[in-house]
Structure 1
Amino acid sequence: MSTSELSITKRRLLGGIAIAAVGFALTACSDAEDKAASAEPKPAVSNETTASTTSAQIPTADRDVDMEEALKPGPLKEMALGDPNAPVKIIEYMSMTCSHCANFHVRTFDEIKTRYVDTGKVYFIVREFPFPQDTASLAAFMLARCTTEERYFPFVSTLLKQQSAWAAPADGDVRNAMLQMSKLAGFTQESFDACLTNAQLAGDVSAVRDRGAQEFGVQSTPTFLINGKAYSGDMSVDSMSALIDSML
């Protein structure tokens, strides 16, 4: 995309949207460079495996985190699935325009949900992490928050699975592409505009990101906080399964 085309995209997206940040990044999974988000976390050989993860290696954590503090809700209601008393607790910090976040939700999340969330073994929380210059991700999260609680995860899943359709449309009109996707979730032009002009919501979503960065060291997406450890980067079903199984 040329500089002039990018400028047009910014204006189209930002028109009528109460977002303080300017700029637009499509698949930036870190604020500066992509770092290691395009690969799975560095693996370490496990001494114990299950039948379903025999060939998988358990990812090595980047650092320790205070999970008790991490599990305290921020300015927005937690969007979570599963039993809060499950033995394994996962917090995913993600960006709606990150290709690696999309890959995780397309290839890994549904299977992990079936194996572990639905069976009471994992409590899974999704938290917003739109980078400061990424207004498209911020707008997408705002729209997700403007749906009903029951529609939040299906809407997020749809946006991630069709990421290129709205984040990089052929005509460059991101705002209109987002509107068309939102209409499938029951938005009207009026409710779409009302959501994206909600300055309080924009601030609260950004505050979730800022807390993740400042208190838990989140710098790239996806980042997973799992039972007191932080892991950055996409994970396959086998890798995440091996990690979860090692904690059960």
Structure 2
Amino acid sequence: MLVTRRAFTTALSLTGLAALAGLSPLRLIAEAMAASADDVTRPQSLPDMALGPADAKVAIVEYGAPTCPHCAKFSKDVFPKIKSEYVDTGKVRYMFRNFPLNIKDLACEMLARNIAGDDAVKYFAVVDIMFRQQDQLVEKTGDTLKLIGRQAGLSVQAVEDCLKDQAMQDKIAAVQKYAEDVLKVDGTPTFFLNGQVIVGETSFEEFDQRIKSLLKT
């Protein structure tokens, strides 16, 4: 199930997060190619947070959002298998780009970047925590972000200052604009595998098949 910003905002305003959880788990797989694999991996206004070697044969870019329930399910059920089977073995380079569906996702990315600095491993760890605490993030965003910040050694004031960083907001907005204008991303989760796009909830088996096919080329 693809979550678009419009659908997510409407569901929140009408019936809350449960409305999204109740949607049928239809999955849309787009077979179209992105403009090119180079377009997908082109350097952005923010450095990519990536796991796996830069020269890996397969590059996967995920556009996700901490408040997206389908992204959280992927993070819990599918990503660990991809990481174990392919990232940790040096076959895949995996990148996560936040595609904010709302102001809460924007705040999450600002805090995650602030905590991690240039440390991609730490960044992925923070994002994982955010997915695991998704309900709290949606219901009590400020309190939950302050708790995550405190666990990372930041004071409440440091978290508040982080969330006021206009320069960081502008960079995140630029990453999203590129995704929308060039890569035609309009919802989460959206994945690119060497330029091939997969939209919506996808099983490990589907990723496994696609990755193996790309490794053979």
TM (norm. structure 2) is 0.85
SS in 2 for 1:92: strand
How far, CA to CA, are the matches of 2:36 and 2:54 in structure 1? 17
Match of 2:106 in 1: 138
CA distance in structure 2 between the partners assigned to 1:156 and 1:38 by the alignment: 23
In the superposition, relative to structure 1, how do residues 225 and 185 fare at CA in structure 2: closer, same or farther (>3 Å)?
A: same
1-structure distance, mates of 2:24, 2:33: 16
Deviations 1:165-193 (A, max 9, x none): 2222xxxx421122112212222112101
Which residue pairs with 1:39 in the alignment? 26
Structure 1 CA distance for aligned equivalents of residues 164 and 24 of structure 2: 32
Give, in angstroms, the shift of residue 64 of structure 1: 3.4
Distance in structure 1 (CA, Å) of the matches to 2:79 and 2:24: 17
| Structure 2 residue aligned with 1:129 | 99
CA contact (8 A) 1:65 1:230 kept: no
- Give the TM-score normalised by structure 1: 0.74
d(CA) in 1 for partners of 2:7 and 2:32? Answer: 18
Contact 1:102 1:160 in 2 (8 A): yes
> Whole-Å Cα distance in 2 between the matches of residues 64 and 181 of structure 1?
35
**1:219 is aligned with what amino acid?**
D
More helix by share: 2
3-state SS of 2:7 partner: coil
- The question of 1:68 aligning with 2:34 is answered no
**Residues 1-248 of structure 1 correspond to what in structure 2 (within 5 A)?**
29-33=3-7, 38-42=25-29, 61-131=31-101, 134-148=102-116, 149=119, 150-168=121-139, 173-248=140-215
Q: Distance in 1 between matches of 2:80 and 2:169?
A: 28
Distance 2:27 2:86 in 1: 20
Question: How many residue pairs are counted as aligned between the two chains?
Answer: 198
Structure 1 pair 185–39 and aligned structure 2 pair: CA distance change class (3 A):
farther
Q: Tell me how far 1:202 sits from its aligned partner.
A: 0.9
| CA RMSD between the two structures | 2.1
Contact 1:92 / 1:222 at 8 angstroms: preserved in 2?
yes
In structure 2, what is the Cα distance between the partners aligned to 1:29 and 1:161?
18
Runs of 4+, deviation exceeding 6 Å: 34-37
Q: How far 1:79 sits from its partner (Å)?
A: 0.3
8 Å contact from structure 1 (residues 86, 120) kept in 2: yes
The structure having more radius of gyration, on CA atoms, is: 1
**Aligned-pair identity (%):** 30
